[in-house]
Amino acid sequence: FYAVGLPALRDAPEQGLELNVVLGQVRGLLRQLEAGDLDAVIAAQQVPRNNVIYLPIVEEQFVLLGASNLEMPLGLSIDQIIGWFESQPWLTYAPDLPIIRRYWQSVFRRRPMIGAPMILPDLLMIARAVELGMGLSVLPEYLSAEQIHEGSLQVLWEPDYHPRNRVLLAVNRPHADRSEIRWLHTRLAAS
């Protein structure tokens, strides 16, 4: 939301819209949406719900990152590289390593054999911790593009295919055609 959503919504007050942003895990936010406490939820996963529809916003690409001063060993086999990655400290936002696990299974075709000595509740915090050399992580490319460009973060692995994820706008089916929801979806999808 910080990197993409917030800049897309800067015109909301001029449109006469009042925004009350609530952060949290997708399942909890969807429960609030179904209860009528929220009008829309930006979701990185589609959780089946009877009265909720999902509108596509953007597709995010994931990259495996380390600090700029981290030196990867050269001349290793793929199994040795995976072993080296697994020997490093990892940073994540949840104990079950959702983004890391998905990346790992997609790129290396196996489950990661890693733990996360530090769990941080925000992807921007994780990016900063990686930048500080506290460990490795997998993050959306758009979230770390500036640090990669500036050289404070580096992409450690260039797979043939970078795993992707669709970010969606979840709304209650009866409210999907409201003008505010259409405006919100249009702005977020254009970002």
**pLDDT tens string 94-131:** 899 989 999 999 999 999 999 878 999 889 999 999 99
Q: Tokens 């089946």 belong to which residue?
A: 48
pTM, 2 dp: 0.82
pLDDT at 191 over 80: no
pLDDT band at 156 (very low <50, low <70, confident <90, very high): very high
Q: Which helix (H) or strand (E) holds 65?
A: strand 52-67
Backbone φ and ψ of 139, nearest 5°: -135, 160
Helices 141-150, 123-131: axis angle to 10 degrees equals: 30
**Rounded alpha-carbon distances, angstroms, from residue 135 to 25, 91, 131, 155, 187:** 23, 6, 9, 13, 35
Maximum pairwise Cα distance, the chain: 59
At residue 101, the pLDDT reads 94
pLDDT higher for 2 or 150?
A: 150
| Residue 62 pLDDT exceeds 90 | yes
- What pLDDT is recorded for position 8? 86
Residue 71 pLDDT > 90, yes or no? Answer: yes
Q: What is the average pLDDT across 31-45?
A: 92
Going by C-alpha positions, the residue among 117, 152, 151 that lies closest to residue 135 is: 117
pLDDT at 5: 81
Cβ(64)–Cβ(90) below 8 Å: no
9-25 pLDDT per residue, tens: 888 888 888 888 888 88
Cα separation, 20 vs 35, whole angstroms:
16
How far is it, in rounded angstroms, from Cα 69 to Cα 162? 23
